[in-house]
């Protein structure tokens, strides 16, 4: 299974959007951790990280926690709820996600976002296996 996790990590890092964020990722069974360094390019007008960045890191970590246990297809985010608790102006954002429920057709994962040791947001998502096969065309290889 660790080969599956490393392929998912390579797939994630190869996505064009990640050239903007330069994240790191670590995936294990039912878990994923995504981290990015905070930069002013992620700020809104009040000089703190925009909520879209919080969402990206939370969703990415929960998504890959879910896809870690779905080995034959790309999962899709069906819904995702975010709870913002603190602003972030410096340091890094680290999202730690884990799968909390799985049925034949749904995977539910929760993620907690930290700035250093301080929790700044949390989210939960529902994911479904798609008809998109995990393949080298997706960067899964």
Distant-in-sequence, close-in-space partners of 117: CB < 8 Å, separation ≥ 6: none
Q: What is the mean pLDDT of residues 86-113?
A: 97
pTM for this model (two decimals): 0.96
Mind listing the domains of the chain with CATH numbers?
A: 2-138 (3.10.129.10)
**pLDDT band at 141, cuts 50/70/90?**
confident
Which residue's entry shows tokens 């069974």?
29
Give SS3 for 27: strand
Give SS3 for 107: strand
Pairing of strands 118-133, 107-115: antiparallel
> Could you report the per-residue pLDDT of 27-82, keeping only the tens digit for each?
999 999 999 999 999 999 999 999 999 999 999 999 999 999 999 999 999 999 99
**pLDDT band at 137, cuts 50/70/90?**
very high
Which of these, 21, 26, 28, lies nearest to 55 by C-alpha position? 21
The DSSP element (H or E) to which 75 belongs, if any, is strand 73-84
């Amino acid at each position: 299974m660790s080969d599956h996790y490393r392929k998912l990590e390579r797939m994630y890092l190869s996505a064009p959007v990640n050239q903007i964020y330069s994240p790191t990722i670590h995936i294990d069974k039912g878990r994923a951790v995504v981290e990015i360094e905070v930069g002013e390019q992620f700020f809104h007008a009040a000089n703190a990280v925009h909520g879209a960045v919080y969402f990206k890191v939370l969703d990415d970590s929960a998504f890959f926690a879910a896809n870690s246990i779905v080995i034959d297809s790309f999962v899709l985010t069906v819904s995702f709820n975010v709870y913002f608790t603190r602003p972030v102006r410096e340091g890094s954002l680290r999202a730690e996600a884990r799968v909390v429920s799985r049925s034949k057709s749904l995977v539910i994962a929760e993620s907690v976002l930290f700035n250093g040791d301080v929790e700044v947001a949390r989210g939960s998502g529902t994911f479904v296996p798609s008809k998109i096969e995990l393949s080298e065309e997706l960067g899964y290889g």
